[in-house]
Amino acid sequence: MSPTAKGLILLCRPGFENECAAEAELLAKHAGISGRARTAQNAGSVHYVFDELIDWKEALEVAPFHALVFTRQRSVWIERVAEMPEDDRVTPLVQTILGQGVRFGRLEVETADTNDAKSLAGFLKRFIPHIERHLKATGFLRENKPELPTLHLFFKDSSQVDLGLSRPDDASPWPMGIARLRMPRNAPSRSTLKLAEAFDALMTEEERAQSLKAGLYAVDLGAAPGGWSFQFAERGMHVFAVDNGPLADSLVATGMVEHVKADGFSWRAPRKQVEWLVCDMVEQPARVAQLVSDWIASGKAKRCIFNLKLPMKKRFEELKKCRQVIDARFKLHGDSYVLRIRHLYHDREEVTAYLAKIHVPVVETPKPSRR
């Protein structure tokens, strides 16, 4: 028997619970599912509770992970184990997991990304190996089986845990959606981690293989001190780094970066085939959305990653406005495009987006053969 879903477990950056809840509510409404969000300020998590139980696989389609912006990780909530006794927390949790009748290929242990939740680290380090041992012994945890779902254990504290399910191809690849990347030794700024995370979070493996190759050209608008240009230079790509501010000497010394002292809104690239446009300028989100959509829709660059610095209030509404700006620009000529947006772990008040035009292949009219 397939488990039923109580709702969704959504993890987010503390302070973004309202936006996380708003997009879950909008997606559920479009799917014809009614429910309500339960959260608290700076909780770092949202439970979107369905008014009626539904099959867990159907619940996955209510809010596909790729459609979520402010959610770092999403799983379908199937059960809660509360008030686990201190003398034996293992038995009730294992029994509840086995009672779901689902075998899984991966176990993810989660908490909210808050200081209070971080205090659970020591407890979980001691506790989880006992759970894994029982689940492997019973055959319910079958590692290296990518076709099986992932089991999420979301701990509120040491006595309460929520069980969630996801598909490996429909969730963040990082535990709790947190990309813990190593800071490159020669990078000019920590902003380089933001672009590195964006490459992995917003692009497919095929897209990365096609576009992050030595010899290609990139344009970095608002480049100083050069954290984003660094990512391209390290891959052997040529970069026009556009900013009136100074670049790191070490970056210029690579010979891969040309510093252009100009305004990013008025400068245009020379007549070269530009693969990439990236933009991390501190500017009104709608203005940035207009700028980058002009570059991509007109063919000045093939693809773009850019940041939208959202206001403290009405973030969800501002993001909707930016989507409309981009959509209107592409509709001028009936062009199709792909737009993926995510509030990355290395983002703060901004969100990061990937934009590319979809080129539809031209099918030639078959010519009659001559006999």
Active site residues: 309
Distance between CA atoms of residues 361 and 370, nearest Å? 26
Distance between CA atoms of residues 5 and 250, nearest Å? 53
Residue whose token pair is 């078959």? 366
- Alpha carbon of 141 to those of 81, 153, 172: distances in Å? 19, 13, 20
Residue type, 102: V
Using left for φ > 0, alpha for ψ between -120 and 50, and beta otherwise, residue 334 falls in left
Distance between CA atoms of residues 150 and 169, nearest Å? 10
Asked whether 165 and 56 are in contact (CB, 8 A), the reply is yes
Q: Where are the beta strands (DSSP E) in the chain?
A: 4-11, 35-38, 45-55, 73-81, 106-110, 150-157, 160-166, 217-221, 238-242, 257-260, 274-279, 303-309, 336-342, 350-358
DSSP string, 42-96: T-SEEEEEEEEEEEHHHHHHHS-GGG-SS-SEEEEEEEEE-S--TT-SHHHHHHH
Distance between CA atoms of residues 117 and 119, nearest Å? 5
Q: CB-hemisphere CA count at 13 Å for 314?
A: 6
Cβ-based neighbours of 39, under 8 Å, separated by 6 or more: 17, 20, 21, 45, 46, 47
Helix (H) or strand (E) holding 317: helix 315-331
Distance between CA atoms of residues 294 and 253, nearest Å? 32
Token code pair at residue 127: 């506790």
Cβ-based neighbours of 20, under 8 Å, separated by 6 or more: 10, 12, 39, 46, 68, 70, 71
